[in-house]
Amino acid sequence: MKHVYTHDNTMIVNSAKNILALNGIESVVKNDAISHIHARHGINNTFCELWILNDQDFDKAVSIIETEVKYPEVKEPWTCAKCKEENEGSFDLCWNCQTEKSQEST
């Protein structure tokens, strides 16, 4: 088991865990149950940590965290070909009509 990521926000660490899972990497979050008591124990003692279960996944996990969590690619907004609604670049479906982003979308 190896440590791959630390953050003070448990939601961000759990998002990183989910991204690793989507890439076939098993991991666990440590310290997420105590993150709400920062004031009592000091913020430096309560960071959430992400640990991978299989050491051989370390390099892949670190690379995924770098590209997907720490420094994600900023995607340009796009306009739905069906309803003409503008969508955030990270959306694969139109938020308004749930139409999938297509090659025709701008």
* Domain span holding position 20: 2-70
Is residue 62 domain-shared with residue 96, that is, in the same domain?
Answer: no
- Taking Cα atoms as reference points, which of 39, 49, 45 lies closest to residue 10? 49
**What span, in angstroms and rounded, lies between the C-alpha atoms of 35 and 56?**
29
pTM over 0.75: no
Is residue 59 domain-shared with residue 106, that is, in the same domain?
Answer: no
Is residue 59 domain-shared with residue 95, that is, in the same domain?
Answer: no
Q: What is the pLDDT of residue 74?
A: 87
Is residue 79 domain-shared with residue 55, that is, in the same domain?
Answer: no
pLDDT in tens, 54-104: 999 999 999 999 998 888 888 899 999 999 999 999 899 999 999 999 866
* Domains of the chain: total: 2
Is residue 66 domain-shared with residue 82, that is, in the same domain?
Answer: no
| CATH number of the domain within which 14 lies | 3.30.70
Is residue 51 domain-shared with residue 34, that is, in the same domain?
Answer: yes
Give strand ranges (E) for 22-106.
Answer: 27-30, 48-52, 78-79, 86-87
**What span, in angstroms and rounded, lies between the C-alpha atoms of 6 and 10?**
9
Neighbours of 105 (CB within 10 A): 16
Is residue 31 domain-shared with residue 80, that is, in the same domain?
Answer: no
Please report which residue ranges of 1-106 form alpha helices under DSSP H.
10-22, 38-41, 58-65
